[in-house]
Amino acid sequence: MKKYILKRNIEIRILEILCFVISILTISPLIYAFVVSFLSPNCIYSKEINLSMLDFTLTNYQTALRRVEIFKYLSNSLIIALICCFTRTLTSFMAGYAMTFMNFKGKNIVRKLILLVSVLPQEALFIQNYSTVTKIGLTNSYIGICSIYIVSALSILICIQSLKDYPRNIRDASLLDGCNNYYFFTKILIPTNRNTLFAVIFTNFVTIWNVYLWPIVITNTDEMRTSQIAITMIKGRDSPDFGPVMAATILSIIPIVIVFIIFKSIYKESRIDFY
């Protein structure tokens, strides 16, 4: 018995070490980018790792901010992410509410439609979507960039899954009191489903913040580009300047990582169920 417990402890110790090593490996590119963004060019290009040679400067950040107006692009990304996040959560909760609480004639067809749309690769259809949006004349506009991302079938699936477990007697009681659907939706359903609301808001925000292909297709002026595109524009022609590029990268990562960490610490136990 003692041998067994000893062996268990060794196994767990090995796993702990492994876990620690892999976590260092996972986070090392980010730490490396953070460190390089503060180093001067002499230090970056030198061959040896000499800790005494490190000198920390802010010139990389100054160069990055001079070459590319990071904050303008960050605000573009923020506006697009907020608009799309809002419309996506609103439409997905509305559709989830209708699918779970109401019975109507074409419900099965709509369910199959939602599944079908969630499976389609929407990014691959950017050619025809580009054609549609330019015909309307919405190139280089916030609405043009947001147009593809207004609804999300996956968010509807998440909402349906979580609203299925919602207690029915609340709804029945409200119906008895003469509450119409709109009132129930805004005053009762949304405030009580805060977990799902935050999960949907957060996943959609991160998804829209990180899109690359559609904004680069639909915008051709520099003013309208998002932060993901802007930091790739900072690359020089032949070889990238590592300091300013890393500085720009860190500047564009910081907002989203802060949001991420805040969200993770508020919303500790995430339960994402499927189907």
Partner 1 sequence: MYIFNSFIKIMKKTIKHIEPWLWILPFIVFSFVFSIMPIFKTLIFSFFDLNSKGHIVKYEGLNNYFYLFKDKVFYKSIYNTYKFVLLSVPAILLLGFILAFISEKTKHSKRYELVFSIPCAISPPVAALIFQTVFMPRVGLISKIFNIDFNILYSKDLSIFALAFIQIWLSTSYAYVYYRSAFRNIENSIVDNAKLDGANLLQLALHVYLPITLKTTIYLLFANTTTSMLMMSLSNVLTNGGPQYSTMTIIQYIYYKFINTGSLTISNTATVIYLLVFMPLIILFYFVLNRESRK
Q: Which of positions 153-192 make contact with partner 1 (CB under 8 A)?
A: 153, 156-157, 181
Amino acid at 87: T
- Among 62, 223, 235, 262, contact with partner 1 (rule: CB under 8 A): 235
CA count, 13 A, side-chain hemisphere, 146? 19
Nearest to 219 by CA among 159, 153, 144: 144
Other Cβ atoms closer than 10 A to 200? 25
Residues 79-138 that bind partner 1 (CB under 8 A): 87, 91-92, 94-95, 97-99, 102, 104-107, 110-132, 134-135
Q: C-beta of 25: minimal distance to partner 1 in Å?
A: 9
Q: C-beta of 179: minimal distance to partner 1 in Å?
A: 14
x/- mask, partner 1, residues 200-229, rule CB under 8 A, reads ------x--xxxxx---x----------xx
Q: Please state the φ and ψ torsions of residue 94, each to the nearest 5 degrees.
A: -60, -50
x/- mask, partner 1, residues 12-51, rule CB under 8 A, reads x--xx-xx--xx--xxxxx-xx--x-------xx-x-x--
Residue 189, sorted as left (phi over 0), alpha (psi -120 to 50) or beta, turns out to be alpha
Q: C-beta of 62: minimal distance to partner 1 in Å?
A: 19
Which residues, 6+ apart, have CB-to-CB distance to 100 below 8 Å? 160, 163, 164, 166
Residue 150 sits in the site that holds partner 1 (CB under 8 A) = yes
